[in-house]
Amino acid sequence: MSAEAQVGLGSKLGRMRRGFRGWRGQRPFWGGLLTLLGGIPIMYFPYANLTLGTLTIRMATTAGAGSLIIGVLLVVLGLTMWFQPQSRVFAGVAAILLALVSLVVSNFGGFVMGFLLALVGGALGISWVHEKPQKPVRRRAKAPDTGGYAGGTPQTAAGAAPEAAPEAAPEAAPGAGGTTDDLSGTSPSNGTNGRHRAD
């Protein structure tokens, strides 16, 4: 195989891997996988034959049809978590309930293996939350420094006029009788303490 073909194959595999990673990140992948895997032992063991030498042991029980139904439903719920992620809460709750029922119906939940896998898979499906991509923060471009004043108005780095520094309010010019005519009520010299004076 030539070097160009190897590079082309490697880039194709890399694209497929990135695509699968993006697909996997948009759904409760591991919850669906564990739920799907939990259904397999639950529906398999009631129909399995175990051979020990010349002795054949059949695991079939009277609830073989119930085990098959529970196993198939768990597989379907696992696929639902993959292909309908908006139904993940329903699928997770149903998987947990079916796992609990399989303890009684299907050989202790497929000899506890299927029970544990379906239980953990359902819990992962319920708890999965889709991460929304964060929007990049836009920063305003700084205007070049103009060296203080531009057009008679002091400018800041962003081009806006700075806020005036708080200073003491100038007292009004004294009126007749040497009193101030400050009606704002903020001047301590008029003795109003916040009340307006009626003239």
Q: Which tens digit of pLDDT belongs to each residue from 75-102?
A: 999 999 999 999 999 999 999 999 999 9
Which amino acid makes up residue 29?
F
Rounded CA gap, 112 and 182, in Å? 88
Q: Which of 59-73, 137-151, 160-174 has the highest mean pLDDT?
A: 59-73
From residue 102, alpha-carbon distances to 58, 143, 194 in Å are: 19, 69, 79
CB atoms within 10 A of CB 5: 9
pLDDT of residue 108 exceeding 70: yes
Query: Buried (b) or exposed (e) across 73-105, using 16+ Cβ within 10 A?
Result: bbbebbebbbeebeebeebbebbbebbebbeeb
pLDDT of residue 35 exceeding 70: yes
- Comparing CA positions, the residue from 36, 41, 74 lying closest to residue 59 is 41
- The pLDDT confidence band at residue 70, using thresholds 50, 70 and 90, is very high
pLDDT of residue 178 exceeding 70: no
pLDDT at 115: 94
Which pair of tokens denotes residue 192? 């109003």
pLDDT of residue 41 exceeding 70: yes
Read off the pLDDT of each residue in 52-60 and give the average, rounded to a whole number. 74
